[in-house]
Chains A and B, each alone.
Chain A
Amino acid sequence: MGKKKRGHPDVEELLARPWCYYCERDFEDLKLLISHQKAKHFKCDRCGKRLNTAGGLSVHMNQVHKEALDKVENALANRQGLDIEIFGMEGVPDDIVQQHNQRIITNFYTAQAERHAATGNPPPGHAGGQGPAKKIKMETPEELKKRLADHRAKVAQIKANGGTLPVPVVVPKSQQQQQQQAQVPASVSPVAGQSPAQGASPFPPPQPGFPYPPPVGVMPGAFPPPVQPGVVVGAYPPVFPPRPTTGGTTLPHMPPYYNGGPPGGGGAGGYPGAASTVDELVSGAARQGGGGGDEIDQLIRAAEQGQGSKPPPGARAGEDAGAEKKGKGKDKHMRMVYGDSEVSPEEKMALLPRYAVAAA
């Protein structure tokens, strides 16, 4: 079973992309991110020197230009501080990382839902609709999550053991059953254990008779498939357990409830996206889908609008020196403080009575 390449990246790829703390832009690789930061956030507006960090720029401004740096240029309003030392992805506070990942995931599922709605295709798992769906209809989101956690533990173990069967671990009985369920595809399908993306997938692994994972958290059947064109965009809740920062294949990085797997709803608490009942899921989806994104999204949009029309002051003169050929439409808006191209200011001044020459 080869992995199907779609036109759009999957959520794992999106999460793995390095991104800029100051402006939330993401990049193909770390090098690009670092050069972006040097050019956009750590560049001296006096001499154009590109520093590695905000602290470095501050020292440079102090020593070379005898000026104090008060904020990071081109940063989102609440990220302009100099107190955090950022270099590439290093130094980004954990809560910001979580927030960012949550945002990526939310956007991903919103976009996915939009694609489904636009193409009219049912989401994977909703194809048949009837038979197998009924079987797992009774699973609550907690059970789904628990199953997922168990599966990941299993995958990690398999990996740790070099791909052989896991050493038995002490697992509560109720979970053991599910674990066996989960284990089947992991050993049957050769791809499952090898592809990092698959290994890190929060979806339950493929099950016999149910080839595609259902959308997260939603019980197939409990939710009508969006075949009609009038379906609400964003009906697929962007609910998803928050992701660990790394690829997610390693066990220690998992949020605590992955390991404990408490049977109650308590494990999902504390994360906005992780609702514990279907009702919450639905309402949460409506809120996030309809609301058009969270605070950061709005900040970014605002910043993009601001930047699109007007580059930051100060940066321009420096750029001009290097790139005088940038013939931009900007010139239309320019206002010259002295606009007469025929008569010089001195000639006009010479006409003023106060400069009149006394007769010889």
Chain B
Amino acid sequence: MAPSTQFEVSQPPNDVISAVVFAPDNTNRLLVSSWDRNVYLYEIAEGTEDATLLNKFEHRAPILDVCFGANGNEAYTAGLDCSVKRIDLSSGEQTVLSTHEKPVRCVVYSPQHSMLISASWDHTLHVHNTSAPASTPITISLPGKPHALAASPSKVVVAMTARLVHIYDLPALAAALSSADPASATITPWQQRESSLKFLTRAVACMPNDAGYATSSIEGRVAVEWFEDTAESQARKYAFKCHRQTAPEEEGGGDVVYPVNALTFHPVYGTFASGGGDGTVALWDAEAKRRMRQYQKFPDSVAALSFSNNGKYLAIGVCRGFETGMENFDSEGRAKVFIRELGETEAKGKGPK
């Protein structure tokens, strides 16, 4: 088993990290978006323990999310300035795809259907056809404010306030998009669910095998659910507590509960990692319902996670997390990006017990 190593990226962003994401076609390439108004493109130099900063793309507003497009040369960003942008990573050219009425919280790209979906605090989703960039996007209005978004090969999961979860069918969206009059198409969710978690959803991640998804909340809890709407499948769903610490007795004891900020599935083994406000990353086996590993504490809250396309690397965005009562929140200079090179079987589950 190859030894697992971990290193820190030498030129990290200056402020809070909103997302880290690996390229779909290049194991060594990753993007990091930050509240310092920049998107950073890094490439891990093979055989060395560093990732060099290839380029950074400045925006006029903090960036809340980033994702790759069809290949490693194309990226989409969600900005606090309400715009969804496409970035050509080789030329640096930025084009605005659409503008929401409020800041854009998440973007997700579906390579199977060449679609970009953006979610905004104006209670809408925009569905863009990226093969025809000039076309107007479909607008889907939502019953709540979206906070997390994730796509599997055939579904997209939107988690909103008030524990609302909507699941849309991607082929249906694609069909609506290619119809004669996209704007008038009525789109209804494939499924509407209530979140298994009682508190505000922080993150959603879909299983790479298209079977289900995991959600996490601000209350140190992760839920795993399945798409299939049968009694057996729904009976399989579960939730568990994590990212908590026992408070010292002198402070009254009990648990200190941290938000679970990030979730990501391993593309090969189907296990998943969670990152929390306690600064830890844990690896879970969704099938066996077991924790496989918990890595040593990072200096600050874990804000974002991403596995590379073959699962060789795990990128961990670490920065100060916003906590209740922080009026003078300032994370400048405390953001770090760690890359962990995983051992061959490090993220491999043992299967159901």
Q: Which residues on A are within 8 Å of B, measured CB to CB?
A: 46-48, 67, 309-311, 313, 316-318, 320-322, 324, 330-342, 344-350, 352, 354-355, 357-358, 360
Contact = CB atoms under 8 A, between A and B. Distances in A.
A317 B161 contact: no
Given A352-B329, A355-B62, A338 B256 contact: no
B19 to A, nearest CB: 11
A350 B253 CA distance: 33
B218 A336 contact: yes
A360 B96 CA distance: 13
Contacts of A48: 290-291
B289 A337 contact: no
Given A310-B249, A322-B290, A317 B282 contact: yes
A355 B240 contact: no
Contact of A321 (B161, B200, B255, B291): B291
Contacts of B62: 350, 355, 357
B259 interface: yes
A344 B147 contact: yes
Contact of B289 (A311, A321, A350, A358): A321
A322 B220 CA distance: 15
B294 A47 contact: yes
7 contacts: A316-B246, A320-B244, A336-B220, A346-B64, A349-B322, A354-B330, A358-B61
Given A47-B293, A310-B249, A313-B245, A324 B240 contact: yes
Nearest to A335: B256
B7 interface: no
B190 interface: no
B222 to A, nearest CB: 9
Contacts of B291: 47-48, 317-318, 321
A102 B157 CA distance: 65
Nearest to A314: B246
Contacts of B220: 336
Interface in B165-205: 198-200, 202
A330 to B, nearest CB: 6
A354 B220 CA distance: 29
Interface residues of B, number: 56
B322 A324 contact: no
A345 B322 contact: yes
Given A317-B294, A321-B291, A357-B80, A337 B324 contact: yes
B68 interface: no
Given A316-B255, A337-B323, 10 more contacts: A311-B246, A317-B243, A317-B244, A322-B289, A332-B254, A333-B252, A334-B244, A334-B254, A337-B258, A338-B258
B54 interface: no
A341 B256 contact: no
A267 to B, nearest CB: 49
Interface in B286-301: 289-294, 296
A349 B35 contact: yes
Nearest to B217: A341
Contact of A348 (B294, B296, B322): B322
Contact of B259 (A322, A324, A337, A354): A337
A322 B198 CA distance: 20
A357 B62 CA distance: 8
B81 A357 contact: yes
B174 to A, nearest CB: 29
B253 A309 contact: yes
B120 to A, nearest CB: 12
Contacts of B213: none
A310 B105 CA distance: 40
A320 B35 contact: no
Contact of A341 (B199, B240, B296, B330): B199
A347 B329 CA distance: 13
B67 to A, nearest CB: 16
Interface in B115-162: 121, 147, 161
B53 interface: no
Interface in B279-320: 282, 284, 289-294, 296
A338 B324 contact: yes
A339 B105 CA distance: 20
A177 B288 CA distance: 72
Contacts of A352: 329
A358 B62 CA distance: 10
Contacts of B246: 310-311, 313, 316
Nearest to B199: A341
B275 interface: no
Contacts of A345: 259, 321-323
Interface in B209-256: 218-220, 238-247, 249, 252-256
A46 B259 contact: no
B290 A336 contact: no
A349 B261 CA distance: 15
A62 B154 CA distance: 43
Contact of A333 (B81, B202, B254, B293): B254
A339 B243 CA distance: 15
Given A317-B282, A355-B62, A337 B240 contact: no
Contact of B323 (A324, A338, A346, A357): A338
A360 B81 contact: yes
A285 to B, nearest CB: 38
B257 A337 contact: yes
B12 interface: no
Contacts of B103: 350
Interface string B317-353: 0000111100001100000000000000000000000
Nearest first, the 3 closest Cβ-Cβ pairs linking A and B are A333-B254, A345-B322, A324-B240
Interface in B51-97: 60-62, 64, 80-81
B16 interface: yes
Contact of B240 (A309, A321, A332): A321
Nearest to A64: B293
Contact of B218 (A317, A339, A348): A339
Contacts of B13: none
A350 B79 CA distance: 11
B259 A346 contact: no
B277 interface: yes
Contacts of A310: 246, 249, 253
A321 B290 contact: yes
Nearest to A336: B257
B64 to A, nearest CB: 6
